C-alpha cells in the first residue's frame, strides 16, 4: 500500500507534530493498514522485517510512538495483554475474543449517540470505549461443532 495518497496523508500528519516521513515510518504505517487485526509491536516488527530486513525493534517502537502522537494510529489495551495497534481512526469499540485473543472493530452507530451513562460530578470525558468480550464468529462456530 505504498500509494501517493497514503504518503501525502502521512506527510501532512507527521508535519503537524514536527516529524518527517521516513521509509521506516511509512513501512510501519503500511503494515498497520494492510492487515487490520490489531497487531502488537512485536507482530508489527515481524511483518515489517519481512520487507525491510534492517529494521530494528527499537525503530518499530519509535515509529509506532510517532504514529500514535500524530493521531494516525491508536493504542488498544485489554486486560494485561500486550499493547496492540489500530489504524482505524473512525470512532469504534473493540470486541475481544476470549478463545483466540483476536481483537475486532465494532463500529458505533452515530444515530445511537452516547450510551446512557452519567459521569459523576467533576469528571471531564475525552473519549470512551466499550469493551465487548466473548467469542468471535470462527471460535463460536468451532464450539458449535463440538
Ligand atoms: Zn476467536
Ligand atoms: Zn480497532
| Residues 71 and 15 grouped into a single domain | yes
Q: What is the pLDDT of residue 3?
A: 67
The predicted-structure confidence for 52-94, as pLDDT tens digits, reads as follows: 999 999 999 999 999 999 999 999 988 888 899 999 988 899 9
Q: What is the pLDDT of residue 114?
A: 61
- Flag whether 84 is in a domain: no
Distance (Å) of CA 20 to CA 15, 25, 27, 91: 6, 9, 14, 27
Q: What does the alpha-carbon distance between residue 32 and residue 97 come to, in Å, rounded to a whole number?
A: 20
- Flag whether 81 is in a domain: no
- Flag whether 55 is in a domain: yes
| Residues 116 and 64 grouped into a single domain | no
Domain stop point among 25, 52, 76: 76
Q: What is the pLDDT of residue 22?
A: 93
| Residues 57 and 94 grouped into a single domain | no
| Residues 105 and 134 grouped into a single domain | yes
**Distance from residue 37's CA to the centre of ligand 1 (Å):** 12
| Residues 63 and 105 grouped into a single domain | no
Q: Which residues of the chain have pLDDT under 70?
A: 1-3, 110, 112-116, 146
Q: Which ligand number lies closest to the CA of residue 39?
A: 2
Structural domain harbouring 9: 4-76
Query: The domain that contains 100 carries what CATH number?
Result: 3.30.1490.190
Q: What is the pLDDT of residue 17?
A: 87
**pTM of this prediction?**
0.83
**Distance from residue 136's CA to the centre of ligand 1 (Å):** 4
φ, ψ at 45 (rounded to 5°)? -60, -45
Q: What is the pLDDT of residue 112?
A: 66
**Distance from residue 77's CA to the centre of ligand 2 (Å):** 10
Q: What is the pLDDT of residue 125?
A: 84
What residues does the ion ligand 1 have nearby, CB within 5 Å?
97, 99-100, 102, 136, 139
- Flag whether 65 is in a domain: yes
Amino acid at each position: 500500500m505504498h500509494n501517493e495518497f497514503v504518503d501525502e496523508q502521512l506527510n501532512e500528519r507527521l508535519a503537524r507534530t514536527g516529524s518527517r516521513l521516513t521509509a521506516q515510518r511509512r513501512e510501519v504505517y503500511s503494515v498497520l493498514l494492510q492487515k487490520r487485526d490489531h497487531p502488537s509491536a512485536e507482530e508489527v516488527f515481524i511483518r515489517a522485517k519481512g520487507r525491510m530486513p534492517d529494521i530494528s525493534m527499537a525503530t518499530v517502537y519509535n515509529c509506532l510512538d510517532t504514529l500514535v502522537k500524530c493521531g494516525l494510529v491508536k493504542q488498544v489495551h485489554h486486560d494485561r495483554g500486550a499493547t496492540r495497534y489500530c489504524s482505524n481512526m473512525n470512532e469504534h469499540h473493540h470486541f475481544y475474543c476470549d478463545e483466540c485473543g483476536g481483537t475486532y472493530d465494532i463500529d458505533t452507530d452515530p444515530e445511537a449517540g452516547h450510551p446512557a451513562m452519567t459521569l459523576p460530578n467533576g469528571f471531564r470525558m475525552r473519549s470512551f470505549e466499550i469493551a465487548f468480550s466473548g467469542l468471535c464468529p470462527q471460535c463460536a462456530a468451532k464450539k458449535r461443532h463440538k
